[in-house]
Amino acid sequence: MFSYKRRVKYYETDRMGVVHHSNYLKIIEEARLQWCNENIMDYKTLEKQGCIIPAASACENFIDYLRFDDPFRVEVTLKEYKGIKMTFSYKIYNEETGKLCYTGESSHFFAKEKGGEQYLPYISFRKDFPEIHKRLTAIAK
């Protein structure tokens, strides 16, 4: 499990003063990219090597509210890794109260740049990025 921490920004809240539901996807993306940076490699470097990791699905459960300036923690777990696809689970906690505010999951596949803006979907990390495959296999155990 990996933890990502920060505070709620004002622009992430709605008129009721709580984090707007659409911003949770952005928050978990920030946390997942930080997870990638620390566990795989810098995402920008990965893209320079011709690999991207698009989202295939996401689901969310809203349990409690986060408000402007609340400190929070996102727990990111690599739930499953299959060589061509990986699934993450997320839990967001209010750091002051300890309350669980959100749970979610996202699935992602690996694509490789074919040329320009074209990508070959569902590449095999085992074959095309063996070192990263080893790291992901070890983390997913």
Q: Is the dihedral of CA 63, 39, 122, 125 positive or negative?
A: negative
Domain of residue 103, residue span: 2-140
Report d(CA 18, CA 13) in Å as an integer. 5
Residue 116 has a pLDDT of: 66
For residue 101, what is the domain's CATH number? 3.10.129.10
14 is catalytic: yes
For the chain, what is the domain count?
1
Q: Check residue 83 and give its pLDDT.
A: 86
CB 90 within 8 A of CB 105: yes
pLDDT value of position 66: 98
Query: For the chain, which residues score pLDDT lower than 70?
Result: 115-120
Spatial separation of the C-alpha atoms in residues 78 and 106, rounded to whole Å? 10
pTM above 0.95, yes or no: no
